[in-house]
A and B are shown apart, each in its own frame.
Chain A
Amino acid sequence: MSGGKISRRKVLKKAAAAAGAAAAGAGFGLLSKWAKGQIAAEGSMPGPVRHTGRTGKPNIVVVLTDDQRWDHMGCAGHPFLRTPWMDRLASEGVLFSNAFVTTSLCSPSRASFLTGRYAHSHGVKNNLTPWRDESRTFFEYLKDAGYNNAFIGKWHMPGRLPRLRGVDRFVTFTVQGGQGRYFDCPLVIDGVETERPGKYITDDLTDLAIDFIRSEKDNTFCLYLAHKAVHHQFLPPPDLDGLYGAEDLRNLPPEYFSLQTMADGAFWEGALGPMEVHYRHYCECLVAVDRQLGRIMTELENLGIADDTAIVYTSDNGYSWGEHARNGKRWATEENMRVPFMVRHPRGIRGPGRRPAEMALNIDLAPTLLDIAGIAVPPQMEGRSLAPILERRPTLWRGDFLYEYFKDFPYNVPAQRAVRTGRHLYVEYEGRRRPELYDIARDPRTMTDITATREGAAALPALRRRLRELSRA
């Protein structure tokens, strides 16, 4: 791709200029960075970054976890969880410190990642409403642009398995309503039911992902790896079981208690028994995910394509571990809506290690992938490409977004719509529950409803109006 060559030339010019200043020792550092492929990201050149993969377009690897909170990574400040590979992604890439999902529930959020659309647009409103085959995913556009694509992992949308257009390899599971099992989970590999005795699902899916990467190393590819982990039943692999068995759990909120997993309909979340046991397993499952992420990153490096590959790491929603005396993920709270969202793309970002505060959403994934692949973002996508933020280009960014949750029987959560701004979270519920307003800046745990305060009264009209606008859009 010519764009790529120009960029490389510019880089070489810079490197040459830097070499002139080698006496000061600066040149070696710059050349070293060039050799590592970091210079484009750290440079201050204006204009868009050119992606200089061997085919002119970057490979894409999306790793999607399930129910992983934004703050459950070492690099997000978790007190005991060790996730060196996630941390490396953050330090070598960009970690969006304000990343959210527009619906905190598996099926709708997954459909949003794939289509770039809100749940009310793509139609997968809860875990009961089926995927519409006419929905267009980013795979279709990537395929048209020459990508070979694989979907490996959790599909979990109601209805029969789709014939995903644009996907060359489709590996998923249907057991337990599409939730899969941690151990011995049968897979449907390109339509063929396959037993997987003795396999741990995070490792098994990663094995298949690595096979795909190896088979496509000379092509341009997109791998979408959607883990079952770290959804319940939170079962870690045997060698990690007990890793955090002795950790102090002071990071859990003061209002949690062990048996809330069974109180007031919380048992639907499927985590019966003491919360501490599940929480420790949840963290151990995350270590297993991190380990497998490391295998993928190492494989890309070994194949010499790491710098030509954009890796996105995110989750379908967060999870509450006792906040507001709840466990689960459906309510419009920070714990549930916020997710990890990291992009490592050596040739496509500037300033690795940054943590931009712009709001990144699940609906932004599809447009971002298309954008970095040089494909025009289709108008039906409601998200926005994050490429300008990755490339540090000046851009006017969103200041709020719509959160929506549709009734999902029998889960004990009312349908709700919310607007989340940089400052406030305003939530309206279906049914008899009154609207709530929180000052996120002062009360990030959303403990104090300020609707009845002077500040709340002042903020409410604009927030109500904005919620109507966003809902209509």
Chain B
Amino acid sequence: MKRRADADGIVKRALIPIAVSLGLWGGLFIASMHIPVTENPAVYRFLMNAVHVLLFSVIGFGGALIVYPMMYFRGAGLPERTIGAMVTPLAFIIKEVYRVCEFFTIGESLYYAFSSMILLLVFGQAGLLAVSEMICRYIDARKRGAHTPVVTPLPVAGIVFSLVWLYVLLIWGLGVHWFYIYQEGYKLLFR
């Protein structure tokens, strides 16, 4: 990691990495909407599945695995690279809230942003960023031959935090328990 004095300008260290991730997400999203059903459904199916694997990957992991390391090695500080890594997931969430306002009121659409998959996306970033941070530290340490500590309490706490939420949101009753808690919240707020 570059020292603060050697850090790249904001465009290079923050805006470009964010744009790369957002661009990938946008491109894949548009592609997913425009792949036609071909004469050979197998081709269509392969393309759709491939595009969606990449799309889900960029939404879920793009911030941590693309933006965060790019910003790390370009000298961005921890708050900056954390915010930068969250831009793509947050853009996706805003897109989702807009999409579902076709079906729901504004209040309901905002509440939709607290649904399990979206919470998992947000809370999962803590663990992913923590893993990314440790990988970056490891690479950095090897590159520079320095004895930078790789595993420290903060990233470990981030991983634990994410795993707890992974359990609560997705594993506990296969996600059904949280779903009904979420629905009770909906009833309290909107009915």
Tell me if B48 and A410 are in contact (CB < 8 A): no
Q: Is B6 on the interface with A (CB-CB < 8 A)?
A: no
Known contacts A128-B191, A254-B37, A255-B37, A413 near B52 by CB under 8 Å: no
Chain A residue contacts of B182, Cβ below 8 A = 410
Q: Is B148 on the interface with A (CB-CB < 8 A)?
A: no
- Nearest to B174 among chain A residues (CB) is A233
Tell me if A407 and B49 are in contact (CB < 8 A): no
Contact digits for B94-120, partner A, Cβ 8 Å, 1 yes 0 no: 001001101110001001100101000
Known contacts A254-B44, A256-B45, A257-B44, A414 near B173 by CB under 8 Å: no
Tell me if A264 and B99 are in contact (CB < 8 A): yes
The A contact surface, by secondary structure, is: loop
Docked CA distance A260–B175 (Å) = 19
Docked CA distance A210–B112 (Å) = 44
Tell me if A409 and B44 are in contact (CB < 8 A): no
Chain A residue contacts of B103, Cβ below 8 A = 407, 412-415, 431
In the complex, which residues 174-191 of chain B have their Cβ closer than 8 Å to any Cβ of chain A?
Answer: 174-176, 179-180, 182-183, 186-187, 190-191
Chain B residue contacts of A255, Cβ below 8 A = 37, 44
Q: Is A177 on the interface with B (CB-CB < 8 A)?
A: yes
Chain B residue contacts of A412, Cβ below 8 A = 99-100, 103
Chain A residue contacts of B48, Cβ below 8 A = 257, 259-260
Docked CA distance A262–B116 (Å) = 13
A376: shortest Cβ distance to chain B, in Å?
37
Tell me if A410 and B44 are in contact (CB < 8 A): no
Contact digits for A165-188, partner B, Cβ 8 Å, 1 yes 0 no: 000000000001101000000000
User: Number of contact residues on B: which range applies?
Assistant: 20 to 34
Tell me if A409 and B45 are in contact (CB < 8 A): no
Known contacts A128-B183, A409-B190, A431 near B112 by CB under 8 Å: no
User: Quick one: which of B102, B175, B187 contacts A128, CB cutoff 8 A?
Assistant: B187
Contact digits for A383-423, partner B, Cβ 8 Å, 1 yes 0 no: 00000000000000000000000010110111100000000
A residues adjacent to B (C-beta < 8 A): 128, 176-177, 179, 233, 254-260, 262-265, 267, 270, 407, 409-410, 412-415, 431-433
7 contacts between A and B (CB under 8 A): A177-B179, A254-B44, A260-B48, A265-B100, A267-B117, A409-B112, A410-B186
